[in-house]
Amino acid sequence: MVSKQLTITNAQGFHMRPASVFATAMGKYSCDVTIKFNGSDYNAKSLLNIIAACIKCGSEVEVVCNGADENEALAEAAQLIESGLGE
Amino acid sequence: MLNGTAASDGVGIGKVLIIKELSLDYTPKEISDTDAESERFKKAVDLFCKNTMEQAENLRKSTGDKEAEILEGHIQIIKDPYLCGEIEKLIDEGQCAEAALEHMCDMFIAMFSAADDELTKQRAADVRDIKSGILSILLGVQEVKISEAPKETVIVAKELTPSMTAGINKENIVGIITETGGKTSHSAILARALEIPAVLSVDGVVSKLYDGQEVIVDGTEGVVIDSPDKNQIEEYTQKRNEYLVEKRELENYRGRKTVSASGEEYELFCNIGKPDDAVKAVECDGEGVGLFRTEFLFMDRSQIPTEDEQFEAYKKAALILKGKSLIIRTLDIGGDKDLPYLGLAKEENPFMGFRAIRYCLKNRDLFKTQLRAILRASAYGDVKIMFPLITTLDELRTGKELVEEVKSELRENNVGFNEDIQVGVMMETSSAAVIADLLAKEADFFSIGTNDLTGYTMACDRGNSDVSYLYSALQPSVLRLIKYIIECGVKNGISVGMCGEAAANSMMIPLLISFGLTEFSVSAPSVLKVRKTISTWTKSEADKVAQKVMSMSSEKEIEDYLKTVI
């Protein structure tokens, strides 16, 4: 299992479009991907779960990957979040 | 008469078409052949996606990409692996497709509705729309065909869903009334994109009106008149025609330069608060941005935004403006704008206290971070820096020194920026106005902020109803300061703009033309109107009016006179 603390920098936070970009990217991996935020776990392959987390700009989240391709998944997750999720 | 939220301008007069919510009742049943049920669900989802794709294409043609994306989002939601996976699981356990779908959708609807931010709440409407779309496929229920509504139809619905909107024919639908939704809801955005008058959040309207009833929708005032009498129809027909004539007339000013009747050219910019607003500025034909308030970047968060975050936001606005002017105002906090994480002390007189440039000059790391982000963005467009709340020449000098410091740091690190970036002053205190001659020698431009300038000069809080009568930019004292600021700028060969509300005031415009203002910065929807007003004045006519106004001794006298000349 690998994990990383990341800060969300999108002005609108983790909303429809960024959540969709992120969930689609994570869907490619076989490992489980979880976003830990505000004491709860959210399935990062699910756009709806990410939106339900209500993650605003400036929030700190922890991305946890667990499975065969966990390192690749975490690297892409970090890259996506740091680059502003395509916004 | 019914009241609601004015969500899309204009007046519509027509006959009611109630969009009833479909009866999507069903009796849940135990499923034994779960594979077949699962197949039935998948087929319904495929059909839903296909229909939605078609609707999105229609919407793209009638209103544009942004609206179509809302519908495309529906496809992404229903294809969410978690949602599908859970529905499949419930079907495997023997639930019918309808019940499984409803269970999962309701869970997310409840979750999103309970969120404390507007954007997440809006997602609940999306999920509801998806649920009824797929349920109606599963149950074989026909949806009401809005696309077949006759001419002069006013749509009345509980909620305007994006899929409904996709069926709207602009020729036939003259108004929209809904029970839910605010100014920023999908319904409102879509109605505005379609240019159909809309009144939203009208309590219980679906049960108050009936099919075929005559109704007036005033989307400008947020009023619905049911079964209007002859006089009302006449009155509103006139109102509608006036609105349409004015709109058409204003459209003639799109794409034109901003020129007075005697040929002087002006810059007509917009005030914005977010990088995305620059899109609106361009859409509304603004020639640049005269005031980009940067506070949004610092608000609703728990810490100061990083240099990169700020850089991305400024760069985004610069790129959208494609080389058009972008005046970025440095952080203007304090006063009525508090940021809890900065730990500002409570003050007796916040407006006289530790705010804006005063705060920035004391917190140089924060200030230099912002300056660095702005300078880096200056490599991507015509970016300018503006300091708020300047009261002394020293403040301007210190600010400029810091800009130079940041420049040399960037040079050392080989980071690109515009070496000739202009640094200007927001003229919004009486002190700055009185020493405008001194400031004009060292600033690259002025921009007059009439809101604070009026408040400080009249020593009056416009929010206090006992003294708000004093608050007017047409007060002789305020006008004298404005005139002096502009004259000092003109004498020193720098441009002088105005980014306060007064710049769009048709009574103020002839005075500003006469004083020699070179740039007007207004809210995006006012651009065409201000361009039109400017085009009606010649310099010599404006001079005559200004001369007369400056000889008057009271605000009332000035206002009464100006009303007779505009």
**ipTM exceeding 0.90, yes/no:** no
Q: Exposed e or buried b for every residue in B394-403, given b needs 16+ CB within 10 A? A: ebbebbbebb
**Which residues in chain B have Cβ-Cβ distances shorter than 8 Å to A49?**
82
Q: Lowest-confidence range among A82-86, B161-165, B520-524?
A: B161-165
Q: Is the pLDDT of residue B321 over 90?
A: yes
Of the ranges B324-338, B433-447, B499-513, the best mean pLDDT one: B433-447
Q: How sure is the predictor about A87, in pLDDT bands with cuts at 50, 70 and 90?
A: low
CATH of B258-565, one of 3.30.1330.10, 3.20.20.60, 3.40.630.30, 1.10.287.3510: 3.20.20.60
Find out whether B534 and B258 touch, Cβ atoms under 8 Å: yes
Domain with residues B146-251, CATH architecture: 3-Layer(bba) Sandwich (3.50)
Is pTM beyond 0.80 here?
no
Q: What is the pLDDT of residue B162?
A: 67
- In angstroms, rounded to a whole number, what is the distance separating the alpha carbons of residues B6 and A44? 38
Q: Is the pLDDT of residue B63 over 80?
A: no
Find out whether A81 and A29 touch, Cβ atoms under 8 Å: no
Q: What is the pLDDT of residue B432?
A: 98
B370 Cβ partners below 8 Å, 6+ apart?
B294, B310, B330, B331, B360
> What is the tens place of the pLDDT at every residue in B518-530?
999 998 888 999 9
Contact B77 A13 (CB under 8 A): no
Q: Lowest-confidence range among B72-81, B331-340, B467-476?
A: B331-340
Q: Which fold has domain B34-139?
A: Enzyme I; Chain A, domain 2 (1.10.274)
Please count the other Cβ atoms lying within 10 Å of the Cβ belonging to residue B256.
Answer: 12
The mean per-residue pLDDT over the stretch B458-470 comes to 87
Cβ of residue A52 closer than 8 Å to a chain B Cβ:
yes
Q: Is B323 exposed, middle or buried (0-12, 13-18, 19+ CB in 10 A)?
A: exposed
The mean per-residue pLDDT over the stretch B490-495 comes to 97
* Domain chopping of chain B, boundaries: 34-139, 146-251, 258-565
Q: What is the pLDDT of residue B25?
A: 84
Q: Which residue from A17, A46, A58 is facing B80, i.e. has the nearest CB?
A: A46
Q: What is the pLDDT of residue B273?
A: 86
Q: What is the pLDDT of residue B159?
A: 81
3-state secondary structure B4-60: CEEEECCEEEEEEEEECCCCCCCCCCCCCCHHHHHHHHHHHHHHHHHHHHHHHHHHH
Find out whether B195 and B169 touch, Cβ atoms under 8 Å: no
> What is the tens place of the pLDDT at every residue in A16-66?
888 888 998 999 999 999 999 988 999 999 999 999 888 888 888 999 999
Q: Which residue from A24, A48, A57 is facing B82, i.e. has the nearest CB?
A: A48
Q: Is the pLDDT of residue B313 over 90?
A: yes
Q: What is the pLDDT of residue B348?
A: 84
Cβ of residue A1 closer than 8 Å to a chain B Cβ:
no
Catalytic residue among B74, B186, B360, B488: B186
Q: What is the pLDDT of residue B337?
A: 73
Contact A11 B82 (CB under 8 A): no
Q: What is the pLDDT of residue A35?
A: 94
**Which residues in chain B have Cβ-Cβ distances shorter than 8 Å to A47?**
76-77, 80
Cβ of residue A32 closer than 8 Å to a chain B Cβ:
no
Q: Is the pLDDT of residue B148 over 70?
A: yes
Return the structure tokens found at B506: 């048709």
Write out the H or E segment, with its range, that includes residue B154: strand B153-157
Contact B120 A54 (CB under 8 A): yes
Find out whether B24 and B137 touch, Cβ atoms under 8 Å: no
Q: What is the pLDDT of residue B195?
A: 85
**Which residues in chain B have Cβ-Cβ distances shorter than 8 Å to A57?**
300-301
Find out whether B277 and B321 touch, Cβ atoms under 8 Å: no
Contact B82 A27 (CB under 8 A): no
CATH number of A2-82: 3.30.1340.10
Handedness of CA B432, B436, B440, B446 (dihedral sign): positive
Cβ of residue B309 closer than 8 Å to a chain A Cβ:
yes
> What is the tens place of the pLDDT at every residue in B269-288?
999 988 888 988 998 999 99
Q: Which residue from A11, A17, A47 is facing B80, i.e. has the nearest CB?
A: A47
* Domain chopping of chain A, boundaries: 2-82
Q: How sure is the predictor about B533, in pLDDT bands with cuts at 50, 70 and 90?
A: very high
- In angstroms, rounded to a whole number, what is the distance separating the alpha carbons of residues B188 and A38? 33
Kindly compute the dihedral angle of the four CA atoms of residues B344, B346, B349, B353, in this order, to the nearest 10 degrees. -20
Q: What is the pLDDT of residue B160?
A: 79
Assess whether B74 carries a catalytic annotation.
no
Contact B308 A20 (CB under 8 A): no
Contact A11 B275 (CB under 8 A): yes
Q: What is the pLDDT of residue B184?
A: 63
Q: What is the pLDDT of residue B552?
A: 97
Find out whether B383 and B418 touch, Cβ atoms under 8 Å: yes
